[in-house]
Amino acid sequence: MTPTDLTRLTRMQTVLFNAGWNMLGRIGPVAVALLVTPPLIVQLGLARWGVLTIALSLVGTFGIFDFGLGRALTRAIAERIGDGREKECATLVLTGIVALGLLGLAGGGIAAMGVRLWVYHGLKIPAALQHQTMVAMWVLCATAPLVMINAAMWGVMSAYQAFRTANLINIPISVMYYLGPLLTLQLWNSLVGVMLMLALCRVAMTVGYGCVCLRIMPALLTARPDFGLLRPLFRIGGWMTLSNLMFPILSYMDRFMIATVLSAAVTSYYTTAFDVVARLSMITMAVTSTAYPAMAASWRTDTVATTALYRNSILTVLGLLFPFCLLGALFSHDILSLWVGADFARHSTLIMKCLSIGVFFFGMDAVAAGFLDGIGRAEMNAILSVVEVAVYIPLLLVFLHWFGVNGAAFAWASRSLVDCVVRIGLGIRLYPSLAQVVRHLVPMALIGLVTMGLALPRTTCLASSLIAAGGLATFYGVLWTHGLAEEERTSLRNTLSRVWTLGRRNLRWRRSAG
């Protein structure tokens, strides 16, 4: 990769462009799912719909058999591209695809062997549906190798920053992932037909991803696997796996402890607010999935490009998250009242305020975590995750006893803030060039914390509106003057000017046509 390519990848416009495609790739299918789900439930019935949702959750468990190899593969490819060793990539990619396919085959086989026991003795499935469910589960398990191979090829496309092409393939297939079962039920009213349609979607995705990978890397056609290349990947992937195992504990332990210490009913106040705020993680994931391979490609060969990418990624995350987090904190009572009713809002308002603060800092933390993985220090993330679990659980228990369910939200927000500070500090220690960048980011983080902190007490609608206006103006003013470089401000001015000119031309054309 040439210095020009690295410069292009670190620009604010590139980060926004790739993040936009990643968000579109997530939001588009979800919008279709919201429309399709009600008629799909009617067609399937509650019993088969429940089986389908449980079965689909099984797909997520196939990732356990990845052992972190997919993400480690992305990093290794990106690093070789950045070092100008692209010729080595084809062998590594083919080896990774074959290895992940074999791991998926083993994982799917293990899951398939347990299907009969699970269907007939584990789940309470009506007798008339048991055989149908068992065959459907076997079809699903057969797709495990495709799930793993697709993950490997997504990593290749990520390393080459081919997010636009990848999402152009991903969006229609993901839409069919929801729409296909509904169409299938019109012809074959069976869970088996539904699973076969989902399997066809997986096959289509494999073919599409494969064509893109061959276009990016034609040498794949003549490459041969070399499993000796996997040893360093498994070392890094093992640490990533440990982090992945800690993630669900940190993500869901609060819910279990609320139900244990307080009650299951009180848990709903927490989870309802959490589910609203957690939707913002799509923004964070869209940006970090763009930044991670780019940082892995540049960190050794171009310090300036790496620090610029780190800064631009955090600026993008903060710039996109802040208005949603601030308005969610200030108007949480109104949002919850409209959505789930006044009684829920009364119990969940403070929870949503605290969680909004936590999500804001979680965005910065995710970029910092991706940087540590990108420079090959995945063990730092893993060790920090283990320490977090050891500290967070006792802290959560104490806060629940002292403050009730609101204490859980405060503990989660506090963990996000501390985690963010620690990870950024580790990044500076390992890569001192980040220090100057972080100094430019601290004012925006403090403005976000203070402004959302003002939202914690109950305020009138007028006061909340004034805080929102002042907070947004101050935050984006500081972002513009201290966060962006002069050339980035000039580029954004030119872009906005072109958009304004184009808008005025279209308006004049419509008036003249009218």
Separation CA 120–CA 241 (nearest Å): 32
Residue 13 and residue 256: Cα distance in Å, rounded?
42
pLDDT of residue 363: 92
- Asked if residue 9 belongs to a domain, the reply is yes
Is 373 within the bounds of a domain?
A: yes
Rounded to whole angstroms, the Cα distance separating 333 from 326 reads: 13
Question: What distance in Å separates the CA atoms of residue 132 and residue 223, rounded to the nearest whole number?
Answer: 42
Q: Which of these three, 225, 242, 262, is where a domain ends?
A: 225
Considering the domain architecture, whether residues 153 and 243 belong to the same structural domain is answered as: no
Q: How many domains does the chain have?
A: 2
What pLDDT shows up at residue 67?
Answer: 66
Q: What is the pLDDT of residue 475?
A: 93
Cα 85 → chain centroid: 29
Query: Is residue 507 situated within a structural domain?
Result: no
**pLDDT at 123 (0 to 100):** 65
Q: Are residues 299 and 443 in the same domain?
A: yes
Residue 53 lies in a domain: yes
Is residue 272 domain-shared with residue 404, that is, in the same domain?
yes
Of 38-47, 98-107, 161-170, the range with the lowest mean pLDDT is 38-47
Q: What pLDDT is stored for residue 63 in this prediction?
A: 58
The most confident of 5-9, 108-112, 502-506, by mean pLDDT: 108-112
Q: What is the pLDDT of residue 290?
A: 82
The 8-class DSSP code of residue 300 comes to T
Q: Given this model, what pLDDT does residue 292 score?
A: 83
How far apart, in Å, are the Cα atoms of 232 and each of 153, 198, 343? 19, 34, 54
In a domain, 96, yes or no: yes
Rounded to an integer, the average pLDDT of 250-271 is: 77
Q: Are residues 195 and 98 in the same domain?
A: yes
pLDDT of residue 59: 62
For residue 427, pLDDT over 90 is answered with yes
- Of all residues in the chain, what percent are helix, strand and coil, respectively (each to 5)? 90, 0, 10
211-248 tens-digit pLDDT = 998 998 888 888 788 777 777 777 777 777 777 777 76
- pLDDT confidence band for 360 (50 / 70 / 90): very high
When pLDDT is cut at 50, 70 and 90, the band that residue 130 belongs to is confident
* Same domain for 283 and 134: no
- Least confident residue range of 30-34, 301-305, 308-312: 30-34
Q: How far is CA 153 from CA 201, 207, 210, 214, 385, in A?
A: 16, 10, 7, 10, 28
Taking the complete model, does pTM exceed 0.75, yes or no? yes
Give the pLDDT of residue 365: 93
- Averaged pLDDT, 393-421: 91
Q: Do both 68 and 110 map to the same domain? A: yes
Measured between its terminal Cα atoms, the distance across the chain in Å is 51
Q: Decide if pLDDT at 124 tops 70.
A: no
Same domain for 240 and 221? no
Residue 192 neighbours by CB under 8 Å, 6+ apart? 132, 135, 136, 139
Nearest to 74 by CA among 144, 140, 166, 7: 166
- Judge if 220 and 279 occupy the same domain: no
The pLDDT of 462-491, averaged and rounded, is: 86
Pairwise pLDDT comparison (3 vs 35), residue with the higher score: 35
Per-residue tokens: 185? 């039920």
Task: Give whole-number Cα distances, 453 to 260, 325, 404, in Å.
Answer: 29, 11, 20
Torsion of CA 221, 146, 22, 282, to 10 degrees: -150
Joined together, the tokens standing for residue 253 give 């332990």
Q: Is residue 462 part of a domain?
A: yes
Per-residue pLDDT at 39 exceeds 60: yes
**pLDDT average, residue stretch 281-297:** 83
pLDDT of residue 57: 61
**Res 32: pLDDT:** 78
Confidence check: pLDDT of 83 > 70: no
Weakest-pLDDT range from 5-14, 372-381, 452-461: 5-14
Look-up: residue for tokens 């949702």? 53
Residue 342 has pLDDT above 70, yes or no: yes
Arithmetic mean of pLDDT over the chain? 82
Cβ neighbours of 63 (radius 10 Å):
17
DSSP 170-195: HHHHHHHHHHHHHHHHHH--SHHHHH
Q: Give a yes or no: residue 509 inside a domain.
A: no
Number of other CB atoms surrounding residue 428 within 10 Å: 16
Query: Do both 50 and 137 map to the same domain?
Result: yes
Residues 46 and 102 in one domain: yes
Rounded CA-CA distance 255/278 in Å is 14
- Look at 139 and 235; give whichever has higher pLDDT: 139
Cα torsion angle, 411, 280, 36, 18, sign? negative
Domain boundary, last residue among 163, 191, 225: 225
Q: What gap in Å lies between CA 399 and CA 388, rounded to an integer?
A: 16
Amino acid 446: pLDDT: 93
Q: Tell whether 243 and 220 lie within a shared domain.
A: no
Quickly tell me which residue has 């040893």 as its tokens: 231
For the cut 80, the answer to whether the pLDDT of residue 288 exceeds it is yes
DSSP reduced 3-state for 331: coil
For 282-292, what is the mean pLDDT?
84
Distance CA 206, CA 143 (A): 11
Which of 79-88, 113-122, 285-294, 470-479 comes out lowest in average pLDDT? 79-88
User: Is pLDDT above 60 for 5?
Assistant: no
| DSSP-assigned letters across all residues of 193-216 | HHHHHHHHHHHHHHHHHHHHHHHH
User: What's the pLDDT at 428?
Assistant: 94
In-domain check, residue 367: yes
Nearest-Å Rg of the Cα atoms of the chain is: 24
CA atoms of 493 and 479, how far apart (whole Å):
14
Of 225, 242, 260, the domain-final residue = 225
CA angle centred on 348, ends 347 and 350, rounded to 5° = 100
* Mean pLDDT, residues 170-187: 86
Measured between alpha carbons, how far is 420 from 415 in angstroms, rounded to an integer?
8
Residue corresponding to tokens 């009138």: 460
pLDDT at 496 over 60: yes
Query: Residue 487: what pLDDT?
Result: 76
Confidence tier at 82 by pLDDT (50, 70, 90): low
Is the predicted pLDDT of residue 47 greater than 90, yes or no? no
Residue 34 structural domain: 3-225
Q: Are residues 383 and 493 in the same domain?
A: yes
pLDDT at 86 over 90: no
Which whole-number Å values give the CA distances from 48 to 138, 386, 421, in the listed order?
16, 39, 46
Q: What is the pLDDT of residues 313-331, one digit of tens each?
A: 899 899 999 999 999 999 9
Q: What is the pLDDT of residue 13?
A: 67
Going by the DSSP 8-state scheme, the letter that residue 87 receives in this structure is: G
Cα–Cα distance for residue pair 75/235, rounded to 1 Å: 13
Residue 459's H or E segment, with its range, is none
Confidence label for 204 from pLDDT (cuts 50, 70 and 90) = very high
| Secondary structure letter of residue 122 according to DSSP | I
Query: In whole angstroms, what is the distance from residue 159 CA to residue 408 CA?
Result: 38
Binning pLDDT at 50, 70 and 90, where does residue 56 land? low
